[in-house]
Structure 1
Amino acid sequence: MAHSDPELAGEGGQGELAAYRLRRERELSSLYATARSLTVLGEVDEVLPSIVRAAHELIGSDFVYLSLRDASGALALSASAGTISSEFSSARMPAGAGLGGWVIESRAPVWVSDYRHADGFHRDPVFDRLVSDEGLVALLGVPLLVGDRVIGVLFAADRTERPFEKDEVALLSAFADHAAIALNNARLYDESRVALQRLQDAYRVIEDQVTTMERAAAVHEALTHVVLTGGGPDDIAQSLVDHLEGVVTIRDRDDEIVATRSSGAASAGEDPHLEQELLAQARRTGRCVHGEGADGTVLSVAAIQAGGSHLGSLSLRRRAVTESADVRMLERSAQITGLLALLRDARVEAEERVRGELLMELLSHPPLQPVHPALRDRALARGVDVDRLDVLVTADCPDRSAADIVRELHGASAELSGLAGEYLGRATMLLRADDAEAAVRTLHQRLRRRLGTPVLVVADRITGHDRAHSFTLAVRCLDVMRSLGETDRGATTRRYAMYGLVFDLRRAQELEGFVTDSLGPLLDYDRRRSTDLVSTVAAYFAHSGNLGRAAHALHVHPNTLLKRLDRITALLGTGWRSADSALRLHLAVRLHQLRALLDGPG
């Protein structure tokens, strides 16, 4: 049985009413935040996946998908959120068929608690088979309306039989209204962008017929347009190729190619040695320099610089001699490319700064207090659910600053819907991971590869939202690892649980009691007499009881070592070298040494 207007369950007592109102407030707040985030997206390819992701988080169903109508009126799946097969992702529903056909015809929400046994609409055998294979049972469809026109249907599906409550239907319908507007705006934006590109192409054809000075003015105008419209290196390279012909290559500060365009009028042969030599000259002089390659082509290179910082290079290879007007075009293009790079870096830095601030607020937030709604909304606007961040990671590398590590963590955090930043001088990240061991190994490999040097990475599973405690555990465990001689590893605090007494401050009293019970007489004796019996025991165990090697390590005569061992026996008793006593004493000495390394001799 299909439904187009489900009834809200009867109200209970005052407690149920208050809970209902609170849930509605949260849903409306989430609806407002997600709808607002859709308005900042420009292209259809960005809006479609954002709509289904936001709807998936908003409704909480197993699967959400969006189908758009084509010219024939059929519905084609355009975006989805949730696990589906490749066959379902290419599903297409004929016009008027299925639940979607009913939604389009009625221009109203329609749901079924069990699609397999529902009636009242025209079925499509192919689609029914796909639904059965995917295990979809309960389906809800709401129309995407632009004016009086239905442009598509937004579906929510569950793999268990259930009714959809009135509030769920209303919430998804309200979201669909916002999504339809955002999608229509994105289509208009794409159409305007295509029209603008066509105008630019037509303009370039005319420019080919003007004089050199007029061509230079056109290049300048095109570059200005790139800046004003938020273009990038590809647009700049294409503008230069359109007016100068040849092969244009733009490289970043790491000498990696970010854009290359060819008019087909010049050879694409490369001469890395010549290009590096010309780039060095360009960086010294600040001007465009030229050289002839072995194949007879002329290579012109301009450095991309800003405020003394090297941001990359722009090169033009072609058969023709580079004229003075063309040189000015290249130099101006290099300046524009540098400006775009700075603008891009500023945007990235601003976003990283916001994410870092969110991280700091979460780590300094009291664990027993709920997260402020404003902070939650700021995180959700960036695709981060703070309640699902259950793993804390910190990394350390002596050859790189914390800022360098954080820069790499930011790239990973965006992919993992997490947060990264510098907290108390440490490169730190919050993320969601079902398998913390696998996550920390993946992050370690990524940092190792991107930084090009050994790095230590430690992860801790957050319990009770006490993120600050997890940070302390991870940092102290990292220091323990380095004290143990580790230099290049990714691990969780659980892997080093045997040293938990050292790096878990909550167990400091246990550690103090264990060390005092085991080493108390030696520690007291060393303090009173300024001796070093504890170090003597450590050296004795470190060299497996070999007196010669232990004496050499302590820089004392073997007879002196024997006298110290006699003193230790007098203080601890004759059984201190037995198997059980030696194991306990050896562990106490090791923990005492690690504590001294972490906390200092005090």
Structure 2
Amino acid sequence: MTKVRRPAGSGPAPELKGLDGLASDILGRLDLEASLLAVVNAAVDLIDTDIAGILLLDEGDDEVLTMRACTGHRSVGTAHLKAGPGQGVAEKVLATRKPFKVDDYTTSRSISHDFYVIAEEEGTRSALGAPMMVGGQVIGTLMAWARRPSKFSAGDLQTLASLASLATIAIVNARLYETERAAVSRLKEANRRLEDQYGLLRRSSRIHGELTRLVLDGEGLTELVATVVEHTGGGVAAMDVTLELLTASEESQALVDRAVRHLRWAAGRSGSDPRTVTIVPPDHFFERWLLVAESAAGGATLGHVVIGLDHSPTSLDEAIIEQAAIVCALVLTKETAVLEASGKAHSDFVWELVEGEIDDEGEATRRARHLGYELPERLRLILIEVENLDAWAGAEAGAPEAAERRKDALAGSARRLAQAGGTTPVPAARRGSLIALVVKGDEDSGPVRSLAGAILHSLEEAHSGLRLTAGISGPFGFAAGTTPALVQAQNALCAASAAGSGDRVGAFDDLGVLQFLLAPGNRGDLRGFVQKVLGPILDYDRDHSADLVRTAEVYLDCDCNLQRTAARLYIHPKTVRYRLDRVVELGELDMSCQRDRFNAQLAITTLRALSLQDTRK
């Protein structure tokens, strides 16, 4: 476009005729940058100047002006111009809020020379500026520069001021449009989030309905875990308050181990809130995302639900585990109620059995079957004492009710461990710090001793801080007149506690005469002691009309002297030696061992004193 220069000082009337069309063009634009460029181009044309530019205050800064649109310039410095307080014509306009002009940079003393280098590069000599005002506040300036000394007229000032007003309106309109567009965008985003939230709530509600129906239909935790697996695609497990596994999806051991480590760590942190969904990112222990949620009811922790995911958890995953934790609490509460309803019957049966109050085998069998047990003919009692049970249970449980549940859960763990090696349920009960387990038992205490030791080891390994000791009763049935199994187990427990050795399992069978010193026995106990020491020898004497017991009695009475024994019995010493060899073989006695000699002599003395000719009667 060819510029037509007009003499300085001439009126603006011809140029102002085009402002109406320009205003329509500028106001019809919504693009701010295009609007500003249209204004500076119009300024160059209408005022017949060389350079025009718009400088706006930086957002959040009411002192620094920055070039936003420029035309006719030659220098990069002009395009990136920034004017601070007191610098150049633009800052003069900003400070006075009025139009300002400089007819010749080289002679003017009204402005600073901060931009003299840029003026030299551009070859500019004069300038004219008008403020851009909104609500009485200056938001920028519209500038015009000429490469000659100039006498800008009042018409030029009016034209520039009009263009500055148009630029201001364009800026306001563009900003309003941007604000509206941002508002629309926010509304769309809010609507999208609401739709997502509605979809989440709808899916969460549907899943909650599925999980709740499981409880109403009488299903258990296994079905709950399967449903959660179906909706999350991850591994799922449910644990009780002691962190013992209740049920889990397939191949979930690594998940359970990681969850237990996390929960034990969290329990040791002061101020930690377990009643939230915790998200644990993958680490070198576990390569999946871990979600942990507490199952609680009435302010007490009942257990935990954990999920392992291959992907970062979504809001739906979090909602699912929250719902699963609630339903898990319902299942556990229902199971607790059922257990509490039947627990007294189980507990009463176990304690009456081991205290010897049930001496009728038929009654014992009927009650046991009613409770789901099949009792063997011979039983043994494993009595476990937890020395620090109250401190251990209260350390993590908090509320007294939760501590009691933790104690009962420990007894349940002991029962499951006792049952693991067999095929039938094991009657078990807890009374204070004592856990009673009724197991199959015969004359050999070795297998039951090994079982008790394994139970103690497993419990202490799973629950750090526990101190356990066990006592094992002798084999018992339902015959009247025998010392109750509970008393026998307590005596063995007392002996094991007092022994101070590494073996924390004591068996009543191994006490020997000590069993009578700890608690005087009755006739049935004495018969049992005689049978244990002399039973096979007495049987041999009866079946073969032999005299092995009498030979052993005289031998011991003669201070184990072979010649004196033969003389007392009127037999050859070789015959004495033969009979003693049979005694040692049948009774598994070592006559060179003082303890075996003592037990044999005490058993023979008891036999003679109580006339217990047949110890099996």
* Superposition TM-score tier, normalisation by shorter sequence: 0.3 to 0.5
Q: TM-score, normalised by structure 2?
A: 0.40
Q: TM-score, normalised by structure 1?
A: 0.40
Larger Rg, first or second structure (1 or 2): 2
